Chain A
């Protein structure tokens, strides 16, 4: 570590720097074609992601907590959006999902922001639908979601 960084850390009373916030604007988000094509691959469903936080053995570890998928929507935290991305799952599901990736990409939430119950739409549901719809990623409006 560079001495100036070391001195700064000492002054701050910290042992390392953690990257905090680099928020993308919602309109800047894009689904990378490679991720889109991965989402269509049925082989990814072979992996069972385990029980939600609190039940799995890994859930009690600090690493698991930090790595915990942040699948909880936090409406309005993305600049440019006011509604929760999950209110319109039938439209542009991939983009909606991806906006949640952004939420997930944020650093670990403070303890007081405990995760709420998972939203109805998840990556597995999406994977299933994608493989069932024969690769029509967008599906037909009204086929997916709750409405």
Chain B
């Protein structure tokens, strides 16, 4: 099964929210999805309508301890994300081979950028959730510099919490659009229903089926699908000049 790495240069942009909805979208497409959250302080379960009191089982916990929500297997990696055992273990568990039937969605906290760098070359896709805010955009050069062009080959971007009634939000989003080109695979509107659903301990799809953010987030999984089976260095066709 291929791995989709969800990681952003800035915290709070919605990486966990997007990872949860990517998992739900891929599950709806018929994939067998495992979500692996790497955050020491984790809120993933809330996006699935679970209480924060539920503690997720470790990646290595036996199947009878599994927490399954809508068929999605929620797991937790409790050791350091930089742990040398992680990659070999993912490989042994079959998490690093292409195919769209089984998928691993990894939610990596923004601070764990070294671990993200190590995982990204084994991921079929890296999903980077940005907001259009200046402090998020300000971190892009550093992220690009550290990751390098090779590391960015599988990167796709989502702009989250977009409020197009705000000038700065529109300008920031337009900047990302121009910069990321084909790599911008979605925009998710700012939507109060997102926190409200968590407060109701309900998945967004149940609490607010008409939610704008839900509608937008659902489109992301479809855009990622081509990456799952891709064996090329980049699932997004490079520009002609670079391909040459």
Contacts from A to B (Cβ < 8 Å): 1, 6, 9, 15-19, 22, 24, 32, 34-35, 38, 41, 43-44, 46-53, 55-59, 61-64, 66-71, 97-98, 100-102, 104-105, 107, 122-123
Contact = CB atoms under 8 A, between A and B. Distances in A.
Interface stretch (B54-62, B76-84, B145-153): B145-153
A61 B239 contact: no
A101 B235 CA distance: 27
Contacts of A62: 219, 222
21 contacts: A1-B210, A1-B211, A9-B210, A15-B209, A22-B165, A24-B167, A32-B168, A38-B137, A38-B138, A38-B175, A41-B141, A44-B141, A46-B152, A56-B236, A57-B235, A57-B237, A58-B183, A63-B219, A64-B185, A70-B177, A105-B164
Contacts, number: 171
Contacts of A9: 210
B208 interface: yes
A2 B127 CA distance: 32
B19 to A, nearest CB: 16
B14 interface: no
Interface in B187-239: 187, 189, 193, 208-212, 215-216, 219-220, 222-223, 225-227, 230, 234-239
Contacts of B177: 67-70, 101, 104
Contacts of A105: 164, 170-171, 173-174
B70 interface: no
Given A38-B137, A107-B164, A56 B170 contact: no
A58 B189 contact: no
B170 A69 contact: no
A20 to B, nearest CB: 9
Contact of A51 (B147, B189, B226, B237): B237
Contacts of A64: 182, 184-186, 223
Given A17-B212, A22-B165, A47-B144, A123 B178 contact: yes
